[in-house]
């Protein structure tokens, strides 16, 4: 029996599990100017961070910034559950 090349096995595996991967993960097709991308990549490589860590840290920083301007969000992020009735009503309207 002839052994199939690894690339053929990999391709079959990828095809078989494509829907599962798409359901589990999101991919953003975005562009960054080349110079900025090279700076970011150099930083990540120098300090040993991944692009996923960059996205997660950026998201957290933006959440923190938004919480500074949105009392309800700030309370949620800080784990408070003592909302005023008017705050609860306002949150229901935005959902």
Number of domains in the chain: 1
Give me the tens of pLDDT residue by residue for the chain, a chain 95 residues long: 567 788 877 788 888 888 888 888 888 888 999 999 999 999 999 999 999 999 999 988 988 888 777 767 666 666 666 656 776 677 677 66
In a domain, 61, yes or no: yes
Q: Is residue 13 part of a domain?
A: no
Domain membership flag for residue 87: yes
- Specify if 72 maps to a domain: yes
Phi-psi region of 41 (alpha: psi -120 to 50; beta: other; left: phi over 0): alpha
Phi/psi for 58 (5° steps) reads: -65, -40
- Residue 66, in any domain of the structure: yes
Does residue 86 lie within any of the structural domains?
Answer: yes
**Could you please report the per-residue DSSP string of the chain?**
-PPPPHHHHHHHHHHHTHHHHHHH---------HHHHHHHHHHHHHHT--HHHHHHHHHHHHHHHHHHH-HHHHHHHHT-----HHHHHHHHHH-
Task: Specify the pTM.
Answer: 0.57
Residue 41 included in any domain: yes
Domain range enclosing 49: 33-95
DSSP label at residue 2:
P
């Amino acid at each position: 029996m002839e052994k199939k090349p690894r690339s053929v096995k990999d391709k079959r595996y990828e095809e078989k599990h494509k829907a599962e991967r798409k359901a589990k993960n999101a991919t953003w097709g975005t562009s960054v100017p080349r110079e900025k991308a090279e700076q970011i990549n150099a930083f990540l490589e120098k300090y040993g961070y991944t692009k996923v860590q960059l996205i997660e840290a950026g998201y957290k920083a933006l959440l923190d910034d938004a919480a500074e301007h949105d009392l309800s969000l700030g309370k949620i992020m800080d784990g408070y559950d003592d909302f005023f009735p008017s705050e609860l009503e306002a949150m229901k309207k935005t959902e």
